Amino acid sequence: MKYMNIRIVIYGFIMCLLPVCTQPVFAQQALTAEDVLERVDRNLSSGTRIVESSMTIHGRRTSRTITSKGWSQGDKRSFTEYLSPASEAGTKMLKLEDQLWIYTPAADRTIQISGHMLRQSVMGSDLSYEDMMDDRKLSEIYTARITGKDTLGGRNVLVIEMTAKVNDVAYYRQKAWIDEERFVPLRQEMYARSGQLLKRTDLTDVERIQNRWFPRTMVYKDMLKEGKGTEFRVISIIFNQEIPGHIFSKASLR
């Protein structure tokens, strides 16, 4: 059984969602962790977003890059279309609430991913469809506290620890290194309930976009496995632009 690599394509999808869900925030003097998360939110979060991004997957043999364009509105609706390479071009994904459909021109079919498949990290891979659909705000899921200061990549950072306050969350605990000045997370680590480090994300190339600080590059790594991880790069991003409603309908898949 080896459809685990499906996940790699999904990363692209995540990329367009990620800024919505990765909202650690910040503040300056005497900031509480909540303040920090809120300031991060202001940088990364938006009502709607249109992102063009590329994703580089480091396979064992070759590396390949996939580009996609994603439209998202809030945390409930999103639509992604793959642009390249040719083999993926034209594949579209629609997520509405907790339902997910994939359309491919190759088969000219819309396939719904549901039930057990959503929960399944097939072959025990790092991500499931469900993971990628979980896009609640961090502040809704976690209680946070500032545990210290540090430097990372030449920037001063605040270290924030987050512990889940709801049950249905993929990672019980997270740790984030957040730029003290710009309020952008530069590193995130995900931990199991037992304290075992599971994943690490490094965010770099922080740039000023539409009056926000935004990390253009993100490297995602499963810490239990060997490998170089997966790299995301934002090619272009537009915040808060009106998106026509028909984009988020099954009709737009075809």
Partner 1 sequence: MKKFLLKGILHDRGRSLVPVFVVAIGALLTVFLYSWVTGAMGDSIEMSSNFNTGDVKVMTRAYAAEADQIPNDLAILGAGRITEQLKNRWPDMDWVARIRFGALADFPDREGLTRGQGPVAGWAIDLLSANTKEPSRFNLPGAIVRGAMPSQSRECLISEELASRFDVKPGDSFTLFGTTMEGGFSFTNYIVSGTLKFGSAGLDRGAVILDIRDARSAFCMDDAAGEILGYLPVSYYDHKMAVAVQSRFNADIKEFAPDEEKMFEPVMLTLKEQSGMAELVDYSKAISAMLIFIFVAAMAIVLWNAGLLGGLRRYTEFGVRIALGEDKGHIYRSLLWEAVMIGCIGSLAGTAAGVALVYALNVKGFDMSGYMQNATILMPSVIRPAITPVVYYIGFIPGVFSMLLGNALAGAGIYRRETARLFNELEV
Partner 2 sequence: MWSFKIAFKNLIGAGRRTWLNVAVLSIAFVVIVFFNGLLDGWNIQARTDTTAWETGYGRMTHPLYDPYDPYTLADAHGLSGSLFASEIQTGNAVPVLITQASAYPNGRLINVMLRGIDPRQNVLLLPSRLLDSLPPQAGEETIPAIIGHRMAGACQLNEGDKMIVRWRDVNGTFDAREVFIAGIFRTTVPAVDAGQVWIPLEALRNMTGLYGESTMIILGPWVTESHSMPRPGTLLEGWRYEDREMLLQEIEDVIKAKRSSSVVISVLLLGIALLAVFDTQVLSVFRRQKEIGTYIALGMTRLKVMFIFTIEGTMHSLLAIALGCVWGIPLLKWLQHTGIPMPQMTDQAGLAVSDKIIPIYSMGLILTSVLLVVISSLVVSYLPARKIAKMRPTEALKGKLI
The upper half-sphere exposure of residue 234, i.e. CA atoms within 13 Å in the direction of its Cβ, equals 28
Listed in sequence order, the residues at least 6 apart from 175 whose beta carbon sits closer than 8 Å to its beta carbon are 159, 160, 161, 162, 188, 189, 191
Partner from partner 1, partner 2, none contacting 109, C-beta within 5 to 8 A by type: partner 1
- By CB under 8 A, residue 168 contacts partner 2: yes
* 61 lies in the binding site for partner 1 (CB under 8 A): yes
Residue-wise DSSP of 18-61? HHHH------STT--HHHHHHHHHHHH--SEEEEEEEEEEE-SS
Q: Give the binding range for partner 1 (CB under 8 A) out of 14-22, 84-92, 178-186, 205-213.
A: 84-92
Candidate ranges 52-60, 73-81, 112-120, 211-219; the one touching partner 2 (CB under 8 A): 112-120
Binding mask 180-219 for partner 2 (x = CB under 8 A): ----------x-xxxxx-x---------------------
Least distance in angstroms from the C-beta of 6 to partner 1: 6
Q: Which stretch binds partner 2 (CB under 8 A): 55-63, 83-91, 118-126, 204-212?
A: 118-126
Q: From the centroid of its chain, how far is CA 41?
A: 14
Residues 6+ positions from 199 with CB-CB distance below 8 Å:
126, 171, 189, 190, 220, 221, 222, 223
- The SS3 assignment for 90 reads coil
CA distance 61 to 47: 40
Binding site for partner 1 (CB under 8 A): 1-6, 8-9, 57, 59-62, 64, 66, 85, 87-88, 91, 102, 104, 106-112, 114, 117
Binding site for partner 2 (CB under 8 A): 115-117, 119-121, 123-124, 130, 164, 167-172, 190, 192-196, 198, 224-226
